[in-house]
Amino acid sequence: MTSDRWAPAAFKTRVDGVLHRFVAEEADRFAEIDPLLGPVAEQLEAAVVDGKRLRASFCYWGWRAVGQPDSDALLRAAASMELVHAAAVSHDDLIDDSPLRHGRPTAHVALRDAVRGRPDPADAADAARSLAMLVGDLLMALAGQLFATSGLPAAYLARARPLWSLMARELVAGECLEILRTGAGPDTAASLKVIRYKTAKYTVEQPLLIGGVLAGAGARLREGYSAYGLPLGEAFQLRDDLLGLFGDPLSTGKANADDVRGHRPTALLAETWRLAGDDERELLRALLGRRDLDEEGLDAVRAVMRALKAPDRIEDMIGSRVEEALDALHHLDAPAPAVAALTALAHSASVRLS
């Protein structure tokens, strides 16, 4: 970008270029070790084909809001946030046994072809899951490598290193909390805590803070980033929860029964349970967590949610969080182009169809 005007499509093209080249080179080096590794290398590249590049955008504007200029080195550092996301998605799809992502088979499904020759189908499925886990591990390692070799001064990178450790710790904590809460009694406060640590922090707050710390942001600006980033990150995931059940799979690229079949601790399910009477709860008990849940059962869950206006409640939660984020943003002492870009990003993160 040659001007301060936020051009999301042009920025995405730049980030895509960095990611695709970097991961293709690393996948080639990986596959050179042995021809058997080819299918695994393909999944590394598949992991970065799609994406809105929101996390890279927040890192970029965390840097620019301090007054620092655009640079290719910063772009590479920002692009590393997308590899963190790719790693998290790879692990999340595996944990949730999700069959689709962006309309294509997830890694643990796609990799079944690589181990199809095994006599026991269950053994082959386990092997494919193990390969997918390792794809996620390698993507996280590559994220750190891209960040470290971005071309930014070593002193800048050193300032941000503690935030990388914090981001990893909180992301893993959120994933663990989701696993530990799955199938438990629905609780909205507990669901919001899962959202905060599993998604909100690494989607908005931490990329912003990393970009800001790279640029030398002061304590007041960093506090403003958190005040903006945390509620917006929560709004992002709350929107995801709604899309996961009520969105069009052709737009979301994901199966929309996953949360119900997995009895995941989403705020949408928790709010539905809180609002439900005895009859509705009896029906929900019979349907939540059923792996064989068909479309009729899924429609029954949706009907209960609509009758109780639980989706409306989640929309209200999204709206209040976006309002909180924008209020914090307008108190930031940041250049006008950065405020304009972060305002547009708040809209992109919270009002979407996929």
Q: Is the pLDDT of residue 214 over 60?
A: yes
CATH number of the domain where residue 35 is located: 1.10.600.10
Q: 3-state class of 100 per DSSP?
A: strand
Q: Is residue 3 part of a domain?
A: no
H helix or E strand, kind and range, residue 251? helix 249-252
Q: How many domains does the structure of the chain reveal?
A: 1
List the domain range (segments joined by +) for residue 215: 8-350
Contacts of 45 (CB under 8 A, 6+ apart): 20, 23, 24, 27
Q: Is the pLDDT of residue 242 over 90?
A: yes
pLDDT by residue (tens digit) across 165-176?
999 999 999 999
Q: Is residue 334 part of a domain?
A: yes
Lowest mean pLDDT among 219-233, 254-268, 277-291: 254-268
The pTM for the full model equals 0.94
What pLDDT sits at residue 208?
A: 98
What pLDDT sits at residue 249?
A: 82
Q: Is residue 2 part of a domain?
A: no
What pLDDT sits at residue 2?
A: 45
Q: Is residue 323 part of a domain?
A: yes
Query: What is the token pair recorded at 240?
Result: 């995801």
Query: How would you classify the pairing of strands 104-105 and 100-101?
Result: antiparallel
Q: Which of 106, 109, 113 is nearest to 89 (CA)?
A: 106
pLDDT by residue (tens digit) across 95-142?
988 888 888 999 999 999 999 888 888 888 999 999 999 999 999 999
What pLDDT sits at residue 21?
A: 98
Q: Is the pLDDT of residue 3 over 60?
A: no
Residue 72 CB neighbours (<10 A): 11
Q: Is residue 1 part of a domain?
A: no
- In the chain the first and final C-alpha atoms are separated, in Å, by 26
